[in-house]
Amino acid sequence: MLTFTLKKTLNNKYSIINSKQLIIKNNKLLYAMPYFLKNNKIDERYETKFFAIIKENLNNEKIDEFNFLLKKKTAIIRDFLNNIGKRSYSVLDYENILSMIFSIRRHKEKILSTVDIENLNSSFKFLAQVKKLPEVRLARFLETFGYDDLLIKKDISLEILHFFEPDKNALWTSWIYRQDNGTGSLPYMADFLKRTWDGNPYVMPFSLKDMSEETGYLYELSAKNGFYAEPPYGADILLAYMYSDYVFKMVYAESKSLSPAVPDGYSLMKKLLGVEKLRRVSC
């Protein structure tokens, strides 16, 4: 029995559901925490190969550049959220923020034509309430934000929460893991490292806490294998690399004629992380 992390109640509100998977073993009812990599057996041969490839393609200079740009994105989002109600924001200001969230860009115009400025201000303000738990802030945003698509609302709120407080909230958008169909860069990485996939999609309950713990395990794996990835953005960079690799293997490499607009991996990583328009310029 699988339970979605966010459940819409009868009174049209959202509540957070504990992320537990119901398992029956030897006629006993057990609860098992779902993880992609943590507490799972990883094939050491592929682990070594995996990080050798990663280190070859993501050198320290590239990682330093990503860290700089992601810090810049955090500064922009913090300044924006901290000044809701203090500054008079326009739709254009929100367009600039939404442009930094890769997974919802193609929906940006529809969002801004559907949601008025008062609703934008009131719902985004919940994400800045640092004294409340992130699960509470997420639920309030989902309840308040005047747009029907739950996946889009989740992507907006979870990315904003991460970059507003990157040391406290892991990055989790649909290109990292989609619960409804089990796709994303995290399942893709797990398939490579575990080599024990049974063919079933990774459709399972997953909470913000689970994602934070999974991200923490990625840092442990990276350190163990000598890969220069440090919190709070190292996991973002690693997962963006995996998604970029997936795109090239599944789309570009197999059929270049159908994908002339697919950028090179490094450029695609910048797009995924929403920093391609930011520049590393010294003040």
pLDDT surpassing 60 at residue 109: yes
pLDDT surpasses 50 at 30: no
Question: What pLDDT is recorded for position 1?
Answer: 27
Domain range enclosing 208: 6-272
Question: Residue 205's pLDDT is what?
Answer: 67
Whether 105 is in a domain gets the answer yes
The continuous run of DSSP H or E covering 29 comes out as strand 28-32
| Mean pLDDT, range 218-232, rounded to an integer | 93
pLDDT of residue 17: 37
Q: Could you tell me if residue 12 is left (phi over 0), alpha (psi between -120 and 50 degrees) or otherwise beta? A: left
Residue 201: asked if its preceding bond is cis (omega within 30°), the reply is no
Residue 280 belongs to a domain: no
Tell me if 84 is assigned to some domain. yes
Q: Is residue 281 part of a domain?
A: no
* Residue 181 forms part of a structural domain: yes
Residue 73 contacts residue 96 (beta carbons within 8 Å): no
pLDDT value for 5: 41
Most confident of 59-68, 201-210, 238-247, 259-268: 59-68
Please say if the pLDDT value at position 281 is more than 90.
Answer: no
258/85: higher pLDDT? 85
Given a cut of 60, whether residue 283 has pLDDT beyond it is no
> Looking at the domain assignment, is residue 283 inside a domain?
no
Give a yes or no: residue 115 inside a domain: yes
More confident residue, 264 or 269: 269
The per-residue pLDDT for 251 is 67
| Lowest-pLDDT choice from 34-43, 117-126, 176-185, 204-213 | 34-43
User: Considering the chain, what percentage of its residues have pLDDT values greater than 90?
Assistant: 58
Residue 171's pLDDT is: 96
Question: Is the residue at 277 inside a domain?
Answer: no
Tokens of 198: 């049974």
Inter-residue contact 22 to 31 (CB < 8 Å): yes
Prediction pTM value: 0.83
Instruction: Check residue 194 and give its pLDDT.
Output: 74
- Work out how many domains the chain is built from and give that number: 1
Task: List CB contacts of 88: < 8 A, sequence separation 6 or more.
Answer: none
Asked whether the predicted pLDDT for residue 64 surpasses 80, the reply is yes
The per-residue pLDDT of the chain, averaged, comes to 83
